[in-house]
């Protein structure tokens, strides 16, 4: 395992002329560029420019350790691949940001100590900015900053923008909006490569991100070249998909080390969840590439750890690698990207073999067939047929009005006890020992226990009385436990909790999640184990005779009889009705529609949801009701605006506050926010300024000339607006593109009254440069960093 401190890496093909390098303090090798050391975990990748590179089929790089030792590493790259790479000269090399203190843009909490002995101490992230480079980072926050800082689509002179065509995106004449998806590649068969000598699949670092760029169904290179050729980290792009309204743009991040899924631990689940949390507001959806052996465990774990999830997280893998000619991995990845980028399915799901399954309902049934996963006790959430069929009524939506968060604390002291004929009491005692806090009991049939084994019942009762939570699940793949049989009822009489139709994977991870909630007492934890938290179990509901089945009545009146026609009518009628009553602030009618089967999150023909309308109208009660019943704060309408942007237009601070608490963020570009607040400040529209600030604007945003709202207010001479802006953090000394500050402009026109106000907001001691834009160093405890750059930077 590589040393976590003082490591330096330089990469180049054999026999290359290394033009610009650096010197390791303890190395015998001498190079032309020296740096200040130590700087933990700074990595520099460099490709030499030599004609002999194109004939090489080995990618080599040195790894230097803190003790001065060095190691030569090699990786196979096909000759044709090297020809395509056109290895960049030294002026195109990239430097790595140092990460002695992991940057964390969205969370300042320290990372928990690794608890599993099998965990690898040092873990990194790998991505390929383009075909010329491989980049290594330690924190997902560094990647997000590199990929999206000053990110913009390139406008190419003479090149027409991509427009939708008939059948693609619903019609012609409009440019397809883009959906951004982050792909986390953790390992597994999906990214493996066949070893020509042994004929077996093997994991190969850095192979998948480079291979995908050359596969046309997975990457539209022409579109990327037209629109993203000048960005620091080039994404990938799916070609247009028929009937889809968005073009999926995605970034691939590879975990280091790549993990076989059988090596997956609780710490790896936490790592995946934290990476999604840190990048949550930068993407519309997430895809996790994973090995199949423990994929169902990971899917269940993420579904419970991610509380109040508002975006799709799709986990997929493969039985045959993506880059093979015959591959299920390629189709699985395409399907997962389509779902993550185009559909409002705020769940952790599993996509495999043209089916989208709820993650915590999934189990692996086949280790050699392409239909490896199934959800025996629940129909798929979606099916990829000639058209994509989404079962919206089955989608689980959180009823909590709260922002997205993850529960990192998972209890490790859980076990599984599978009952079998003549099981010894010693086996039972071993599974129920005092250190165990939770047990999944796998019993026969519908939850039946050997009734004559009173010794086992006694041990289970002892465990329950000391505070151990025991959950009863069936050994059968399909069906649920039933307390109507005596052999099952004896378990519930001693305090065992019925597990309904949960899979074993889901029950075990749910136990770990519930026991990890230290803020819950034992009775609450037991109650939560019997409650449907994420759609993981079936709860029987009595039929509501008062439900208003509007669609059924309408179908009878217009002579529709078939179930397919009724479903089409339901999809056509409900969304505009829900939007209509949201505009009227009629919560009672919305309730009737919901009881009749309406989806409160469904968009109309313009992609506008009821929450968009209620937020724009400032209807607080309706907004609360819609959020409670699953409306998404992240949904975008035809103008690419989410409900929070609509709420800003209404200037209703209560609605804005509620949407922010539920996880809403301003999705407007920073320059657009700057222009909007500058115009509002110039007009003295203090209500709009307050609304923008409540929605997340900082008043440090600038327009196209680098001018802030405070510049505009000073020029207009609006004293109340100046005070409002300064009270909320606007800096009198923030310069525009011409070097002018609000304070300097007030002095230039001899407005002593404005100068007096602005000077009163200056820091009492020390110079100020105004409000700085957020930087990575802000999140690294102000640790000084030495950064390297050879002809470019990330």
> Highest mean pLDDT range out of 25-29, 300-304, 660-664?
300-304
Give me 153's structure tokens: 């689509």
Question: What is the C-alpha to C-alpha distance for residues 289 and 282, in angstroms, rounded to an integer?
Answer: 19
Q: Is 529 helix (H, G, I), strand (E, B) or coil?
A: helix
Same domain? For 569 and 491 the reply is no
Which range is least confidently modeled, 206-215, 382-391, 469-478, 480-489? Answer: 480-489
Same domain? For 449 and 344 the reply is no
**Number of domains composing the chain:** 5
Q: Is 681 helix (H, G, I), strand (E, B) or coil?
A: helix
Which residue among 629, 661, 693 closes a domain?
661
To the nearest whole percent, how much of the chain has pLDDT over 90? Answer: 55
Higher pLDDT: 51 or 114? It is: 114
Express each pLDDT in 628-669 by its tens digit. 998 999 999 988 899 999 999 999 999 999 999 999 999 888
pLDDT over 70 at 502, yes or no: yes
Q: What is the DSSP letter of 351?
A: E
Please tell me whether 292 is known to bind a ligand: yes
583-603: average pLDDT:
88
Same domain? For 140 and 284 the reply is yes
Which residue numbers are catalytic? 292
Same domain? For 520 and 579 the reply is no
Position 416 scores a pLDDT of: 96
Q: Is residue 105 part of a domain?
A: no
Position 561 scores a pLDDT of: 58
Express each pLDDT in 65-91 by its tens digit. 444 444 444 444 443 343 333 333 333
pLDDT over 50 at 607, yes or no: yes
Position 562 scores a pLDDT of: 59
Sorting pLDDT into bands at 50, 70 and 90, what band is 133?
A: confident
Position 606 scores a pLDDT of: 85
Q: Is residue 242 part of a domain?
A: yes
Which residue among 497, 529, 561 closes a domain?
529
Domain of 56 in residue numbering reads as: 8-95
pLDDT over 90 at 513, yes or no: yes
108-126: average pLDDT:
53
Please tell me whether 293 is known to bind a ligand: yes
Bridge partners (DSSP) of residue 182 are: 251, 286
Same domain? For 369 and 440 the reply is no
Q: Is residue 312 part of a domain?
A: yes
Given a contact cutoff of 8 angstroms between Cβ atoms, the answer to whether 405 and 308 are in contact is yes
**Strands 414-418 and 405-406, sheet pairing:** unpaired
Phi-psi region of 142 (alpha: psi -120 to 50; beta: other; left: phi over 0): alpha
Position 540 scores a pLDDT of: 57
Position 158 scores a pLDDT of: 41
Which range is least confidently modeled, 32-41, 542-551, 642-651, 709-718? Answer: 32-41
Same domain? For 674 and 652 the reply is no
pLDDT over 80 at 171, yes or no: no
Q: What is the CATH number of the domain that holds 360?
A: 3.40.50.1170
Position 567 scores a pLDDT of: 66
Sorting pLDDT into bands at 50, 70 and 90, what band is 27?
A: very low
Question: What is the C-alpha to C-alpha distance for residues 509 and 360, in angstroms, rounded to an integer?
Answer: 9
Count of residues for the chain? Answer: 794
Torsion of CA 602, 605, 610, 614, to 10 degrees: 160
Q: Is residue 370 part of a domain?
A: yes
Same domain? For 626 and 703 the reply is no
User: Which pTM was predicted?
Assistant: 0.75
Same domain? For 48 and 144 the reply is no
Q: What is the CATH number of the domain that holds 720?
A: 1.25.40.20
In the predicted model, what is the mean pLDDT of the chain? 79
Which residue among 661, 684, 703 closes a domain?
661
C-alpha neighbours within 13 Å on the C-beta side of residue 111: 22
Same domain? For 676 and 648 the reply is no
Q: Is residue 117 part of a domain?
A: no
Place of tokens 């500058």: 678
Same domain? For 504 and 374 the reply is no
Same domain? For 340 and 459 the reply is no
Q: Is residue 407 part of a domain?
A: no
Express each pLDDT in 392-423 by its tens digit. 888 998 778 888 999 999 999 999 999 999 99
707-736: average pLDDT:
94
Sorting pLDDT into bands at 50, 70 and 90, what band is 148?
A: confident
Q: Is residue 592 part of a domain?
A: yes
Given a contact cutoff of 8 angstroms between Cβ atoms, the answer to whether 374 and 578 are in contact is no
Bridge partners (DSSP) of residue 415 are: 439
pLDDT over 80 at 605, yes or no: yes
Higher pLDDT: 733 or 36? It is: 733
Same domain? For 276 and 330 the reply is yes
Q: Is residue 734 part of a domain?
A: yes
């Amino acid at each position: 395992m590589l040393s976590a401190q003082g490591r330096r890496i330089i990469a180049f093909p054999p026999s290359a002329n290394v033009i610009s390098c650096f010197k390791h303090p303890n190395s015998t090798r001498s190079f032309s560029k020296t740096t200040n050391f130590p700087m933990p975990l700074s990595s520099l990748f460099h490709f030499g420019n030599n004609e002999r590179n194109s004939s090489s089929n080995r990618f080599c790089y040195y790894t230097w350790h803190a003790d001065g030792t060095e190691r030569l590493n090699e990786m196979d790259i096909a000759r044709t691949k090297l020809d395509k790479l056109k290895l960049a000269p030294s002026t195109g090399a990239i430097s790595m940001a140092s990460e002695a203190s992991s940057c964390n843009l969205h969370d300042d909490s320290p990372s928990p100590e690794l608890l599993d002995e099998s965990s690898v101490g040092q873990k990194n992230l790998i991505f390929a900015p383009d075909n010329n480079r491989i980049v290594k980072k330690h924190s997902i926050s560094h990647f997000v900053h590199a990929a999206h800082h000053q990110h913009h689509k390139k406008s190419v002179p003479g090149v027409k923008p991509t427009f939708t065509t008939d059948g693609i995106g619903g019609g012609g004449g409009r440019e397809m909006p883009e959906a951004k998806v982050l792909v986390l590649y953790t390992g597994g068969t999906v990214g493996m490569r066949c070893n020509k000598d042994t004929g077996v699949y093997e994991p190969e670092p850095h192979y998948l991100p480079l291979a995908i760029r050359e596969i046309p169904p997975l990457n539209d290179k022409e579109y990327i070249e037209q629109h993203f050729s000048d960005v620091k980290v080039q994404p990938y792009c799916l070609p247009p998909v028929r009937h889809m309204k968005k073009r999926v743009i995605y970034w691939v991040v590879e975990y280091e080390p790549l993990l076989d899924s059988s090596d997956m631990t609780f710490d790896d689940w936490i790592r995946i969840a934290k990476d999604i949390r840190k990048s949550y507001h930068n993407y519309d959806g997430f895809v996790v590439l994973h090995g199949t052996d423990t994929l169902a465990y990971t899917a269940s774990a993420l579904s419970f750890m991610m509380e109040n999830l508002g975006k799709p997280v799709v986990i997929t893998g493969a039985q045959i690698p993506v880059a093979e000619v015959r591959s299920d991995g390629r189709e699985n990845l395409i399907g997962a990207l389509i779902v993550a980028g185009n559909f409002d399915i705020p769940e952790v799901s599993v996509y495999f073999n043209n089916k989208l399954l709820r993650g915590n309902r999934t189990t692996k049934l086949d280790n050699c067939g392409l239909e490896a996963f199934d959800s025996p006790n629940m129909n798929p959430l979606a099916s990829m047929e000639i058209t994509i069929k989404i079962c919206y009524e089955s989608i689980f939506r959180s009823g909590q009005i709260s922002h997205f968060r993850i529960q990192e604390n998972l209890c490790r002291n859980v076990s599984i006890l599978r009952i079998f004929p003549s099981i010894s009491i010693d086996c039972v005692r071993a599974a129920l020992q005092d250190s165990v806090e939770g047990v999944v009991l796998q019993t026969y049939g519908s939850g039946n226990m050997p009734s004559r084994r009173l010794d086992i019942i006694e041990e289970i009762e002892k465990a329950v009385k000391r505070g151990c939570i025991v959950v009863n699940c069936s050994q059968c793949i399909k069906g649920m436990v039933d307390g109507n049989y005596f052999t099952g009822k004896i378990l519930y009489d001693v305090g065992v909790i019925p597990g309904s139709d949960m899979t074993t994977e889901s029950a075990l991870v749910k136990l770990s999640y519930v026991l990890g909630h230290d803020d819950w007492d034992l009775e609450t934890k037991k109650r939560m184990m019997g409650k449907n938290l994420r759609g993981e179990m079936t709860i029987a509901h009595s039929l509501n005779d008062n439900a208003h089945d509007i669609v059924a009545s309408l179908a009878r009146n217009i002579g529709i009889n078939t179930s397919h026609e009724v479903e089409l009518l339901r999809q056509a009628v409900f969304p505009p009705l829900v939007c209509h009553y949201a505009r009227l602030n009629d919560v009672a009618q919305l309730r009737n529609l919901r009881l009749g089967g309406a989806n409160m999150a469904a968009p109309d023909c313009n992609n506008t949801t009821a929450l968009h309308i209620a937020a724009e109208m400032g209807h607080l009660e309706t907004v609360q009701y819609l959020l409670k019943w699953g409306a998404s704060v992240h949904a975008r309408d035809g103008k690419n605006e989410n409900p929070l942007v609509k709420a800003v237009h209404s200037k209703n601070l209560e609605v804005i506050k509620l949407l922010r608490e539920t996880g809403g963020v301003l999705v407007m570009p920073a320059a657009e926010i700057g222009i909007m607040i500058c115009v509002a400040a110039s007009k003295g529209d203090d209500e709009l300024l307050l609304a923008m600030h409540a929605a997340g604007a900082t008043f440090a945003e600038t327009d196209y000339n680098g001018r802030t709202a405070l510049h505009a207010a000073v020029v207009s001479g609006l004293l109340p607006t100046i005070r409002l802006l300064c009270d909320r953090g606007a800096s009198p000394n923030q310069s525009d593109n011409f070097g002018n500050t609000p304070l300097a402009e007030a002095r230039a026109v001899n407005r002593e009254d404005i100068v007096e106000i602005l000077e009163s907001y200056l820091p009492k001691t020390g110079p100020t440069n105004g409000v700085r834009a957020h930087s990575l160093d802000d999140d690294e405890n102000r640790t000084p960093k030495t950064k390297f750059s050879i002809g470019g930077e990330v």
